Amino acid sequence: MADRRALFLTAPGWIWLTVFFLLPCGVLFAYAFGTTSYTAVNFGTSLKNFGDVLTTPTLQTVVLRSLTTGLAVATLTVLLAFPLAYAITLGPFARHATPILLLVVVSLFSAFIVRIYAWRTILGSSGVVNTFLMQIGLTTEPLDELLYSRFAVVLTLTSVLIPVAVLPLTAALSGVPRSLIEAARNMGTTAPQAFRRVTLPLASGGIGSAFALTFVVGAGDFITPQLVGGPSSQMAGSAISSRFGISFDWPQGAAIAFTLVAGMVAVLVALRLLMRAAGMRDRP
Q: Which of 13-27, 176-190, 269-283 has the lowest average pLDDT?
A: 269-283
Phi, psi of 261 (to 5 degrees): -60, -40
Q: Is the pLDDT of residue 272 over 80?
A: yes
Note the pLDDT tens digit of each residue in 85-137: 999 998 888 888 888 888 888 888 877 888 888 888 888 888 888 888 888 87
User: Would residue 7 count as lying in a domain?
Assistant: no
The full length of the chain comes to: 284
Q: Is the pLDDT of residue 178 over 60?
A: yes
The predicted structure's pLDDT at residue 219: 94
The predicted structure's pLDDT at residue 175: 87
Share of the chain above pLDDT 90, in %: 40
Q: What is the 3-state secondary structure (H, E, C) of the chain?
A: CHHHHHHHHHHHHHHHHHHHHHHHHHHHHHHCCCEECCCCEECCCCCHHHHHHHHCHHHHHHHHHHHHHHHHHHHHHHHHHHHHHHHCCCCCCHHHHHHHHHHHHHHCCCCHHHHHHHHHHHHCCCCHHHHHHHHCCCCCCCCHHHCCCHHHHHHHHHHHHHHHHHHHHHHHHHCCCHHHHHHHHHCCCCHHHHHHHHHHHHHHHHHHHHHHHHHHHHHHCCHHHHHHCCHHHCCHHHHHHHHHHCCCCHHHHHHHHHHHHHHHHHHHHHHHHHHHHCCCCCCC
CB atoms within 10 A of CB 96: 11
User: Would residue 142 count as lying in a domain?
Assistant: yes
**Range of 231's domain?**
58-277
User: Would residue 94 count as lying in a domain?
Assistant: yes
User: Would residue 246 count as lying in a domain?
Assistant: yes
The predicted structure's pLDDT at residue 284: 56
The predicted structure's pLDDT at residue 183: 86
User: Would residue 192 count as lying in a domain?
Assistant: yes
Q: Is the pLDDT of residue 64 over 90?
A: yes
The predicted structure's pLDDT at residue 131: 85
Q: Is the pLDDT of residue 192 over 80?
A: yes
Note the pLDDT tens digit of each residue in 195-239: 888 888 888 889 999 999 999 999 999 899 988 887 788 899 889
Note the pLDDT tens digit of each residue in 23-40: 999 999 999 998 887 777
User: Would residue 131 count as lying in a domain?
Assistant: yes
Q: In terms of pLDDT, which residue wins out, 282 or 281?
A: 281
Residue 282: pLDDT band (50, 70, 90) is low
Split into its structural domains, the chain has a count of 1
User: Would residue 38 count as lying in a domain?
Assistant: no
User: Would residue 48 count as lying in a domain?
Assistant: no
The domain that holds 263 is classified in CATH as 1.10.3720.10
Look over the chain and give the mean of its residue pLDDT values, rounded to a whole number: 88
